């Protein structure tokens, strides 16, 4: 047999299982989902399903509950992403200095990230119960005790605190890797020119880390827009109190599997897909085009 034929056979033997799984569980379902979003499909009465074209989408954009879910998710994302990025950057900068116990800090910060969202949600619900230790601690600074997860004003902030707590460690590691890539002679040169630590941080560290920052922010946004586990546990699956913890994915879940409306649920999934896909494209553009743009500037 010719060598190329052998290569083709070998290649396909190596890749075939993955291609089959990819088609059956990802590509097929993704395409199917688009089709389903134009149907009225009840899980319990599949034979009565009908094509409704844009009805699901029309209902979606006129459902105040969907807007609430979307608004909650955006609010969650807008608070969580900058805060966790900022904390992670500060911790990484500090952990990169000459201090003792680096390994301990790295381990301590990352432990929340390996913890299941179910476990961390139940721990936080206990810590933040009305008579709990978190309220007691905040009371030292003059804050009134609130019932975090039963009060619509505080349930989402509790989910935000939880998300920040779980993600900071991961992002810190990404920043730390970025910091270690900055050559030390850049700082030495700046120090010779008389730049203070703060100036060095502003004019060297932040610009040199911009790519990592962009990565962390986009990944953070994508992750927060898909938030489900914490909201599910805090609200016992309902998205309550008063819809204050309903996220887009929880809304999708409850419509599709609570009310058995799979077509409508698919329309929600398509909307989420469009939002996230756009974000990812922006990220790709940034990562792939930026070096080219910079090159052009230099030339």
Residues 146-205 that bind another protein (CB under 8 A): 165, 168-170, 173-174, 176-180, 182, 184, 187, 191, 197
**Residue 274, token pair as written in the block:** 């469009």
**Residue 49, token pair as written in the block:** 């399903």
Nearest to 152 by CA among 64, 217, 240: 240
Q: Is 27 in the site for another protein (CB under 8 A)?
A: yes
Q: Is 277 in the site for another protein (CB under 8 A)?
A: yes
Site for another protein in 64-83 (CB under 8 A): none
Question: Residue 80 or 298: which CB sits closer to another protein?
Answer: 80
- Which of 83, 195, 217, 222 lies at the binding interface for another protein (CB under 8 A)? 222
Q: Say if CB 125 and CB 212 are below 8 A apart.
A: no
Q: Is 91 in the site for another protein (CB under 8 A)?
A: yes
Site for another protein in 46-65 (CB under 8 A): none
- Return the range that interacts with another protein (CB under 8 A); candidates 31-39, 50-58, 71-79, 290-298: 31-39
- Which of 105, 138, 146, 241 lies at the binding interface for another protein (CB under 8 A)? 105
Question: Residue 244 or 247: which CB sits closer to another protein?
Answer: 247
Q: Say if CB 239 and CB 190 are below 8 A apart.
A: no
What is the nearest approach in angstroms of another protein to the Cβ of residue 293? 19
209 backbone dihedrals φ, ψ, rounded to 5°: -95, 5
Q: Is 220 in the site for another protein (CB under 8 A)?
A: no
Q: Say if CB 66 and CB 265 are below 8 A apart.
A: no
Helix (H, G, I), strand (E, B) or coil at 47: strand
What is the nearest approach in angstroms of another protein to the Cβ of residue 176? 8
- Which of 85, 239, 253, 254 lies at the binding interface for another protein (CB under 8 A)? 253
Q: How many angstroms separate the CA atoms of 229 and 176, rounded?
A: 28
Q: How many angstroms separate the CA atoms of 110 and 171, rounded?
A: 9
- Which of 236, 285, 289, 291 lies at the binding interface for another protein (CB under 8 A)? 236
Q: Is 254 in the site for another protein (CB under 8 A)?
A: no
Q: Say if CB 150 and CB 240 are below 8 A apart.
A: no
- Which of 2, 17, 64, 140 lies at the binding interface for another protein (CB under 8 A)? 17
Q: How many angstroms separate the CA atoms of 240 and 234, rounded?
A: 8
Q: Which residue has the tokens 């879910």?
A: 69
- Which of 38, 77, 224, 229 lies at the binding interface for another protein (CB under 8 A)? 229
Question: Residue 183 or 299: which CB sits closer to another protein?
Answer: 183
What is the nearest approach in angstroms of another protein to the Cβ of residue 18? 4
Alpha helices in the chain (DSSP H): 3-22, 28-36, 55-61, 64-95, 102-114, 117-127, 133-140, 152-181, 184-192, 197-200, 206-208, 210-225, 229-234, 248-253, 262-298
Q: Is 273 in the site for another protein (CB under 8 A)?
A: yes
Q: Is 115 in the site for another protein (CB under 8 A)?
A: yes
**Residue 292, token pair as written in the block:** 């080219």
Containing 46, the helix (H) or strand (E) segment is strand 45-51
- Which of 55, 65, 79, 112 lies at the binding interface for another protein (CB under 8 A)? 112
Q: How many residues bind another protein (CB under 8 A)?
A: 108
- Which of 55, 68, 226, 286 lies at the binding interface for another protein (CB under 8 A)? 226
């Amino acid at each position: 047999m010719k060598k190329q034929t052998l290569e083709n056979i070998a290649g396909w033997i190596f890749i075939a299982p993955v291609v089959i799984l990819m088609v059956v569980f990802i590509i097929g379902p993704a395409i199917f989902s688009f089709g389903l979003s134009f149907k009225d499909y009840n899980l319990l009465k599949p034979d009565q399903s009908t094509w409704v074209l844009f009805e699901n989408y029309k209902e979606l954009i006129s459902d105040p509950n969907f807007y609430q879910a979307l608004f909650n998710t955006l609010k969650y994302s807008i608070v969580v992403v900058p805060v966790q990025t900022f904390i992670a950057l500060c911790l990484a900068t500090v952990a990169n200095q000459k201090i003792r116990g680096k390994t301990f800090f790295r381990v301590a910060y990352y432990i929340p990230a390996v913890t299941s969202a179910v476990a961390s949600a139940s721990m936080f619900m206990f810590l933040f119960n009305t008579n709990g230790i978190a309220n007691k601690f905040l009371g030292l600074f003059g804050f009134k005790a609130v019932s975090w997860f039963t009060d619509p004003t505080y349930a989402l902030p509790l989910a935000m605190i939880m998300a920040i707590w779980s993600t900071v460690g991961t992002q810190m590691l990404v920043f730390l890797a970025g910091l270690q890539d900055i050559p030390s002679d850049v700082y030495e040169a700046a120090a010779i020119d008389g730049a203070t630590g703060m100036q060095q941080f502003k004019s060297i560290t932040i610009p040199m880390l911009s790519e990592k920052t962009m990565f962390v922010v986009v990944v953070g946004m994508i992750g927060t827009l898909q938030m489900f586990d914490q909201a599910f546990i805090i609200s016992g699956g309902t998205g309550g109190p008063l819809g204050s913890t309903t996220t887009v994915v929880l809304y999708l879940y409850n419509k599709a599997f609570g009310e058995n409306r799979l077509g409508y649920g698919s329309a929600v999934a398509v909307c989420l897909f469009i939002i996230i896909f756009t974000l990812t494209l922006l990220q790709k553009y940034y990562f792939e085009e930026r070096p080219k743009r910079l090159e052009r500037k230099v030339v």
